[in-house]
């Protein structure tokens, strides 16, 4: 699923934000990117999603060498292969919940599937919120809507950025379990970036890549 080797990223070649000798994640496995704020976790997620391009090294995701793609090709690939759960969730305030979940299809030029989106929202306890707008949802409901958006296109890889911030222990475990179960349903691998040690306890079988040094933007 993931193959990283001699991977570097940064504006200054002498002091890269990221410098990863090697990391391999087999298909069907999950991974945790652990490290303090400023260690490059979000930067690595953006590299895995094809939003950023590495300075040097190998970066293969779901059988595709991302550095070899053009920007347009990466955008198209991302819409097919990647489900994103950003730190700030990024639900669009002017769209209702159903249309927010359908955004990945519209953004990637693929045919939206409202029936699948509605079914997912129902599985996540939001069957009565399809026409609601983000401001009318609780924090937990917004997070579940964002999870539905991340898996609606049946991605091969789900990337989650600090999904347990400001959650108590029970909610932390519940969110990680929910993401893992949704990944399993669509046959995806899950990569969670976090500085929260509780995530490891909630996903004990995950492979771990530690980014210990705060050397650049998170």
Q: Which helix (H) or strand (E) holds 36?
A: none
Is 140 part of any domain? yes
Q: What is the mean pLDDT of residues 29-35?
A: 94
Q: What is the mean pLDDT of residues 20-40?
A: 92
Q: What's the CATH number where 71 sits?
A: 3.40.50.300
Is 203 part of any domain? yes
Burial zone of 125 (CB within 10 Å; 0-12 exposed, 13-18 middle, 19+ buried) = exposed
Is a pLDDT exceeding 50 seen at residue 216? no
Is 216 part of any domain? no
Is 217 part of any domain? no
Is 218 part of any domain? no
Q: Which residues pair with 192 in a beta bridge?
A: 32, 160
CA distance 147 to 168: 19
pLDDT band at 218 (very low <50, low <70, confident <90, very high): very low
Which pTM value belongs to this model?
A: 0.90
Is 111 part of any domain? yes
Residue 21: strand, helix, or coil = strand
94-127 pLDDT per residue, tens: 999 999 999 999 888 888 999 999 999 999 999 9
Is 98 part of any domain? yes
Number of domains into which the chain is organized: 1
46-58 pLDDT per residue, tens: 999 999 999 999 9
Is a pLDDT exceeding 50 seen at residue 67? yes
pLDDT band at 212 (very low <50, low <70, confident <90, very high): low
Residue 197: strand, helix, or coil = coil
Query: Which structural domain range is residue 77 located in?
Result: 2-210
DSSP 106-163: HHHTPPP-HHHHHHHHHHTT-GGGTT--GGGS-HHHHHHHHHHHHHTT--SEEEEEST
Q: Which helix (H) or strand (E) holds 18?
A: strand 18-25
155-207 pLDDT per residue, tens: 999 999 999 887 889 889 988 998 999 999 999 999 999 988 899 999 999 99
Is 215 part of any domain? no
């Amino acid at each position: 699923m993931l193959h990283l080797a001699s991977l570097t990223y940064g504006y200054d070649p002498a002091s890269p934000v990221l410098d990863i000798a090697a990391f391999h994640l087999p298909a069907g496995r999950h991974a945790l990117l652990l490290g303090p704020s400023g260690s490059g976790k979000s930067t690595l997620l953006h590299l895995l999603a094809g939003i950023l391009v590495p300075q040097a090294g190998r970066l293969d995701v779901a059988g595709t060498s991302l550095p070899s793609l053009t920007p347009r090709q990466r955008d198209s690939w991302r819409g097919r292969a990647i489900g994103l759960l950003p730190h700030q969730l990024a639900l669009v305030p002017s769209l209702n919940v159903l249309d927010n979940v359908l955004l990945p299809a519209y953004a990637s030029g693929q045919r939206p599937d409202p029936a699948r989106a509605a079914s997912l929202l129902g599985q996540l306890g939001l069957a009565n919120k399809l026409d609601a707008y983000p401001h009318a949802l609780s924090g937990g409901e917004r997070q579940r809507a964002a999870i539905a958006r991340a898996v609606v296109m049946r991605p091969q890889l789900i990337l989650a950025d600090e999904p347990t911030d400001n959650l108590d222990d029970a909610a932390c475990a519940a969110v990680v379990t929910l993401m893992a179960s949704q990944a399993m349903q669509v046959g995806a691998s899950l990569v969670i970036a976090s500085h929260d040690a509780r995530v490891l306890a909630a996903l004990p079988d995950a492979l771990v890549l530690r980014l210990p040094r705060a050397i650049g933007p998170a």
